[in-house]
Amino acid sequence: MRYLFITILSLIFVIYSGYFFIYVNGLNCDDWGNGLNETSIINNNSLYGCQIQFPKKCSYKLFYFFQDFTKIMKKNCSRQIKKNQKENLIKNSYSPFITKTTNRFGYPLSNKDPACVNALKHNFLSNLVDMDNKQILDKYFKNKIPEVVVDFAGGTQGKIEINVHYDKNLSKKRKHLEKNSEPLANNVLVIFIDSVSRQNAIREFKKTLEFFKKFMPYKGGKNERYPNENYHSFEFLKYHAFRGYTAINYPLLFYGQNRGIKEKYLINKYFKKNGYITSLVNDICLRDNTYSNHEHILDEIFDHEFVLCDPNKDNININRIRCLYGKLDIEHLLNYSEQFWRKYSENRKFSLIVSNFGHEGTLQAIKYIDNFISSFLWSLYDDNLLRNSIVFLISDHGTGMPSIYYINSFYKIEAELPMLYIFLNDKKNFSYEQQYTYMHENQQNFITAFDFYNTLCNIIFGNKYKYIRNKTSKKDTCKSPYGESLFNKINNIKDRHPKNFNKIAKMSLKVCK
């Protein structure tokens, strides 16, 4: 008992001493505004329309080594044993196509299986099918065999098998639509990681950001591997969230409208109409992350979908790595996405990867997926699959989960400043130097989710983008009135100053003044 008392007193002393050190001596934030390749935030609001509030103390420098719960708890997906994996899968599924004796569970494409009505309830486990029941497969799933299978035949932990199907008829159909438009890029890849600030991306996504860093600065020379191709990357230092949680920001990013507007169209609609084959992977049991008004979301189905539901319900807010079927959950998402990218290499593609790995309070779990995202990007690049492509690494908001850091100013400020990085290949479609000048300038400009949405629209419609009418309550179009494409000049747009957003977009901004 005496030793326990001494331990508690010692712990209190250490914590008190740490905070005394922070607030009296200070852990300075001199490097907090730095970006890649020796860039940094320029706080000139007369030039760039926004002055970022800097934190005074950066407490993560003191507690960094004590917050890595994955390391402290010695978590490793290959060694992590979970009980009742199969039982939980069956328990949380209401599918009529499985039984207690099922060993191989298929995830059908949610837009093509006969149980898709259950998908409207956003329980994707309700679409499972017994892959060993030939009678059911022949009767209900002919020509729609599931692309993802969870196999328990070889053990109790389960193993995921992925085989993305190439749809020849779909490929021809979309090829036919390509003639109707001249996009800025034939391929668009969006890697969306929930709850990652730009500053935390720099701290933890070291290998992934090396990929983007390699193609900076703006006036970089020819690519050594492909000397006839030009690649460029951009970092947006003043990309600002509207709130510190996803339900507000996600609809702005991918619908271009506030959550409260009932009839809204996912950007996926416009990609498909202009000849793109589309794919979505997600590691939470929702088709998207808007969390409300699902019955009013129109035309949201992707051509290929894989929603990875965790039957153990322990894949969010756990402050450590998230494992499922022997691997990090994002490994399964990246595997599916890479297969999709390769099998439709001759088609226009829009691929959306949604991961909630950053949705935790320690700020460190994302470093365990850094190597996998980096390897995924380099694999596509090395095989020359990123030609005529644009890649976005983006989040909806920064730090968002309460933690030991919450009382510190840096945490609250970073909650409003998510990451946004863009990689593009410009040999064919980005031939105008002016577009690069604007993109380069916009790295220091006040940027919002509306601008990201309009940038996607600009990519889809190319030069026709400027003629598209803005969205209204009566007519939905691929253009938000509150944003502009990052390929255009935006710092002098009327009413763009952060102070005006509460009035025109019914949103408020906190750290961009």
In a domain, 106, yes or no: yes
Mean pLDDT, residues 387-401: 89
Which residue from 83, 107, 112, 109 is spatially nearest to 95, judged by alpha carbons? 107
Q: Where are the beta strands (DSSP E) in 266-410?
A: 276-282, 297-298, 304-307, 323-324, 327-328, 348-355, 389-394
At 493 the pLDDT is 59
Tokens (6 digits) for 119: 């998908």
- The pLDDT tens digits for 267-310 are 998 999 999 999 999 887 766 655 444 444 545 688 998 888 77
Q: Does residue 28 sit within a domain?
A: no
The answer to whether the beta carbons of residues 330 and 369 sit under 8 Å apart is yes
299 assigned to some structural domain: yes
**Given 113, 128, 156, which residue is the final one in a domain?**
156
- Most confident by average pLDDT, 29-38, 172-181, 220-229, 333-342: 333-342
Which of 94, 127, 156 is at the close of a domain?
156
What pLDDT is recorded for position 440?
A: 87
**Do residue 172 and residue 138 come from a single domain?**
no
**φ, ψ of residue 454 in degrees (nearest 5):** -70, -30
191 and 102, same structural domain? Answer: no
More reliable by pLDDT, 160 or 431: 160
Our CA dihedral for 436, 442, 448, 451, rounded to 10 degrees, sits at -30
Number of domains in the chain: 2
What residues does 389 pair with on adjacent strands?
Answer: 187
113 CB neighbour count, 10 Å cutoff: 22
The CA distances from residue 443 to 46, 49, 416, 485, in Å, are 15, 12, 17, 13
Query: Cα–chain-centroid distance for residue 287?
Result: 13
**Contact assessment for residue 188 and residue 424, using Cβ atoms and an 8 Å cutoff:** no
222 occurs within a structural domain: yes
Q: Distance (Å, rounded) from C-alpha 37 to C-alpha 235? A: 10
Q: pLDDT (tens digit, 9 = 90+) per residue, 62-93?
A: 766 677 777 777 778 877 777 788 888 888 88
| Per-residue pLDDT band at 122 (split at 50, 70, 90) | very low
Which tens digit of pLDDT belongs to each residue from 195-208? Answer: 999 999 999 999 99
**What pLDDT sits at residue 8?**
65
CA distance 221 to 422: 17
266 and 140 in a common domain: no
Do 222 and 364 fall within a single domain?
yes
Task: Band the pLDDT of 438: cuts 50, 70, 90.
Answer: confident
Identify residue 408 by its one-letter amino acid code.
N
Residue 77 domain flag? no
pLDDT of residue 70: 76
Q: What is the pLDDT of residue 45?
A: 64
Q: Among residues 95, 122, 156, which one ends one of the domains? A: 156
One domain for residues 210 and 253: yes
Please compute the mean of the pLDDT values over residues 35-44 and round it to a whole number.
87
Maximum mean pLDDT: which of 22-31, 293-302, 306-315:
306-315
pLDDT tens-digit readout, 257-273: 877 776 677 899 899 99
Decide: 417 and 199 in contact? Cβ < 8 Å. Answer: yes
Residues 90 and 175 in one domain: no
- Residue of 221, 213, 255, 258 whose CA lies nearest to 393: 213
- Which of 295, 280, 309 is closest to 124 using CA atoms? 309
pLDDT of residue 118: 41
Contact 136, 104 (CB under 8 A): no
Same-domain check for residues 180 and 116: no
Stated as kind and residue range, the H or E segment containing 129 is strand 129-130
Q: How far apart (Å, rounded) are the C-alpha atoms in residues 352 and 302?
A: 10
> Does some domain include residue 388?
yes
**Averaged pLDDT, 20-27:** 53
More confident residue, 366 or 501: 366
Q: Are residues 92 and 203 in the same domain?
A: no
pLDDT > 70 in the chain, percent: 77
**pLDDT confidence of residue 271:** 95
DSSP state of 329: H
Mean pLDDT value of segment 43-62: 77
For the ranges 101-115, 445-459, 469-483, the lowest mean pLDDT is seen at: 101-115
pLDDT confidence of residue 358: 85
CA–CA distance, 417 with 260 (Å, rounded to integer): 23
Residue 372 and residue 254 share a domain: yes
pTM: 0.90
Structure tokens at 365: 């779990």
Q: Is residue 56 part of a domain?
A: no
- Please give the share of the chain, as a percent, with pLDDT higher than 90: 35
CATH number at residue 379: 3.40.720.10
Q: Are 355 and 333 in contact (CB under 8 A)?
A: yes
CA gap 274, 300 in Å, rounded: 15
pLDDT of residue 1: 57
- Count of C-beta atoms within a 10 Å radius of residue 371: 14
Residues 407 and 452 occupy one common structural domain = yes
If you search the block for the tokens 């416009």, which residue do you land on?
Answer: 270
Give me 436's structure tokens: 């690069």
Same domain for 107 and 183? no
Q: What pLDDT does residue 27 have? A: 75
Which range, 121-130, 352-361, 420-429, is most confident? 352-361
pLDDT at 249: 87
Task: Return the pLDDT at 113.
Answer: 42
The dihedral formed by the CA atoms of 243, 248, 249 and 250, expressed in degrees to the nearest 10: 150
User: pLDDT class for 443, splitting at 50, 70, 90?
Assistant: very high
Question: Is 142 a member of any domain?
Answer: yes
What pLDDT was estimated at residue 292?
A: 43
Shared domain check, 151 and 191: no
Q: What is the mean pLDDT of residues 181-193?
A: 94
Tokens of 389: 């492509």
Look-up: residue for tokens 């079927």?
A: 325
Q: What is the pLDDT of residue 332?
A: 95
For the chain, the residue count is 513
* Alpha-carbon Rg for the chain in angstroms: 23
Amino acid at 392: F
Q: What is the residue range of 246's domain?
A: 168-504
Q: What is the mean pLDDT of residues 236-250?
A: 86
The b/e string for 25-36 (b: 16+ C-beta within 10 A; e otherwise) is: eebebeebbebb
